Amino acid sequence: MNAIISASELASDLAGTNPPVLLDIRWQLSVAKTAGEPPFDGRAEYAAGHIPGAVYVDLDQELASAPGARGRHPLPDTARFGAAMRRAGVSADRAVVVYDGGQGWAAARAWWLLRWAGHPDVRVLDGGLPSWEGPLETDVLTPAEGDFTPEPGAVQLLDADGAAALARSGVLFDARAGERYRGEVEPIDRVGGHIPGAVSAPTNENVGTDGRFLPAEELAARFKSLGATEGTGVGVYCGSGVSGAHEVLALAVAGIPAGLYAGSWSEWSADPERPVAVGPDPQ
């Protein structure tokens, strides 16, 4: 099954007899704002205009637990996640399409969580809302309750020890910007740098200027050049398990299965006992 869907394909599916459940996951990383500038409000953005039939899902509240020792976006409680998905109309036997404001990270987080929880048919709108050429609507929808019950474990989830081991036995990609990997800047977490042995592979290099993924063959060539050769175990981490999901999605487009270290750098760097590497060299 293809992990992404084009806007034209989505329009055709929505007009069909069995349209997918459509989830709007607009979100932005919380960073310091200029005095007086309001924080990003995904729900307000949704209410101002969304793809017809879409239901809003809040990443921070429904696709993550509260920040803590497990990182800034720990995986949500399974029962709470399942309840949120059922409220959004998600059922096990109905396809799901997720989209965000165009960056792709938040939609990929929802895609990964649903796949990890056992949903068999989830795709991401390639390019997000900016790729949609059809009309928007402003109605806030309350869909019929779905029946989806999470059964975690359908795709690989890494913990800190598993990520460290994979950096030695296979390839562990760091999806953050290169300057954060090298430890030159660290705007969010306790310390800069990367997990020893991890390879820098910024996820923003997986897309073109339009925000859409590069062709599968180009992605496959990129990841192969970075060490994801046939038979090699592959894992990904980022800052808090959001942009890393986008890299796992890019790997899926390229036909390469990969695990996600959900706690990512925000969990790893919070433990002063864990080693930190700096500079361009993986070690």
Which active-site residues does the annotation give?
238
> Token digits for 54?
């879409």
Residue 161 buriedness (CB in 10 A; 0-12 / 13-18 / 19+): exposed
Give the strand pairing for 157-158 and 259-261. parallel
> Token digits for 179?
């300057």
User: Tokens 């760097």 identify what position?
Assistant: 269
Taking Cα atoms as reference points, which of 191, 195, 172 lies closest to residue 277? 195
